[in-house]
């Protein structure tokens, strides 16, 4: 199964290319899921259908879906609250309601919610040949794709600290015969420690997701237009992906026409000059206005992934 991500500045044509790719791959007989991660959810408009988090069979070979980001945010918050109340059940001073409010509006919740939804799709939806993701503009997408490796690095630090804490508790236990606080017995062995188990489980999950995202089955494409603003943004994507060791596999120079041909050539020549391994760039011409409900562009864009 291949996963395709179209990244790029707002308005460059990510949703249009994602829809086109999904449609064309399904027409080649592949089983395809096109899923929107953009809270603006244009994918449904492109296909002329109301999408929800339940899959809609658009054709026999193409399912459409909107990732349920709100539900994922709730699930993430619930899980965090669950961990907090498990871990701190011995202290009465801890105001969980306040933490619930703080968590809900904390930076990163949106990204983790998207990551939870992404994880669910990547791990569970194995019945497709291709999953095409319609992603939100660059910043959020890069942050979502960065999260698994950042989380793995953090969790490794936390695991080390946790093991040190358990070791110290063990020493105190040996010396005093007991170590408790307000009647709650704190675990001092790795086997009994829920926190350590939760960290180990997180470590495993994010490592798996990280290696899936970096693997040969992930195809990240950058979309830009023949203008310098979208080009600068695509340069940032190229270097951001390189830092994250995520695979950029193709680029689309979208909306090219006679008037911007010169700029189109210039940005293509410049895109991979900063030491990035170059990837194939496909030009997609500016199309005349489409009739309503025409969801795929009449240009074959599948060469990079079939």
Nearer to ligand ATP, 40 or 306 (CB): 40
Nearer to Mg ion, 58 or 76 (CB): 58
Nearer to ligand ATP, 2 or 234 (CB): 234
Does residue 15 bind Mg ion (CB under 5 A)?
yes
- In the list Mg ion, ligand ATP, none, the entry touching 13 (Cβ below 5 to 8 angstroms by class) is ligand ATP
Does residue 80 bind Mg ion (CB under 5 A)?
no
Question: What whole-number distance in Å separates Cα of residue 223 and Cα of residue 134?
Answer: 12
Residues 6+ apart with CB under 8 A from 281: 250, 251, 252, 253, 268, 271
- DSSP letters for 160-222: HHHHHHHHHHHHHHHHHS--EETTEEPP-STTT-HHHHHHHHHHHHHHHHHHHHHSTTEEEEE
Does residue 230 bind Mg ion (CB under 5 A)?
no
CB of 304 to ligand ATP, least distance (A): 16
Q: Sort 88 into a burial class: Cβ within 10 Å, 0-12 / 13-18 / 19+.
A: middle
Q: How many residues bind Mg ion (CB under 5 A)?
A: 3
CB of 256 to ligand ATP, least distance (A): 8
Task: Say if strands 32-36 and 130-134 run parallel, antiparallel, or are unpaired.
Answer: parallel
Nearest to 33 by CA among 43, 296, 300: 43
Nearer to ligand ATP, 44 or 148 (CB): 44
Question: What whole-number distance in Å separates Cα of residue 264 and Cα of residue 253?
Answer: 7
Distance between start and end Cα atoms, the chain: 12
- In the list Mg ion, ligand ATP, none, the entry touching 12 (Cβ below 5 to 8 angstroms by class) is ligand ATP
Return left, alpha or beta for 47; rule: phi > 0 is left, psi -120 to 50 is alpha, else beta.
Answer: alpha
Q: Pseudo-torsion of CA 187, 193, 195, 199, nearest 10°?
A: 150
CB of 165 to ligand ATP, least distance (A): 45
Nearer to ligand ATP, 20 or 210 (CB): 20
Site residues for ligand ATP per CB under 6 A: 8, 10-16, 38, 40, 42, 137, 254-255, 284, 286-287, 297
- In the list ligand ATP, Mg ion, none, the entry touching 284 (Cβ below 5 to 8 angstroms by class) is ligand ATP
Does residue 265 bind Mg ion (CB under 5 A)?
no
With CB under 5 A as the contact rule, the residue among 27, 31, 42, 159 that binds Mg ion is 42
Nearer to ligand ATP, 17 or 115 (CB): 17
Chain residues in the site for Mg ion (CB under 5 A): 14-15, 42
């Amino acid at each position: 199964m291949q996963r395709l991500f179209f990244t790029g500045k707002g308005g460059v044509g990510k949703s249009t290319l994602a829809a086109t790719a999904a449609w064309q791959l399904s027409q080649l007989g592949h089983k395809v899921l096109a899923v929107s991660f953009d809270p603006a959810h244009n994918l449904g408009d492109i296909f002329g259908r109301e999408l929800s988090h339940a899959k809609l069979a658009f054709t026999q070979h193409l399912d459409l879906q909107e990732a349920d980001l709100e539900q994922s945010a709730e699930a993430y918050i619930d899980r965090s609250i669950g961990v907090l109340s498990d871990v701190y059940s011995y202290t009465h001073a801890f105001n969980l309601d306040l933490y619930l409010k703080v968590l809900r509006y904390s930076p990163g919740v949106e990204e983790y919610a998207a990551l939870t939804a992404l994880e669910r799709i990547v791990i569970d939806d194995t019945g497709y040949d291709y999953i095409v993701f319609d992603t939100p503009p660059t910043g959020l997408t890069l942050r979502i794709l960065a999260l698994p490796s950042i989380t793995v690095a953090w969790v490794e630090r936390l695991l080390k600290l946790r093991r040190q804490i358990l070791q110290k508790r063990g020493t105190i236990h040996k010396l005093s015969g007991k170590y408790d606080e307000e009647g709650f017995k704190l675990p001092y062995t790795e086997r009994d420690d829920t926190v350590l188990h939760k960290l180990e489980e997180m470590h495993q999950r994010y490592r798996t997701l990280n290696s899936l995202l970096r693997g040969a089955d992930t195809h990240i494409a950058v979309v830009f237009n023949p203008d310098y603003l979208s080009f600068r943004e695509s340069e940032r994507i190229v270097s951001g992906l390189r830092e994250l060791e995520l695979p950029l596999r193709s680029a689309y120079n979208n909306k090219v026409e006679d008037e911007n041909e010169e700029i189109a050539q210039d940005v293509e020549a410049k895109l991979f000059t900063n030491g990035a391994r170059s990837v194939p760039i496909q030009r997609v011409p500016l199309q005349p206005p489409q009739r309503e409900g025409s969801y795929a562009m009449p240009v074959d864009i599948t060469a990079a992934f079939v």
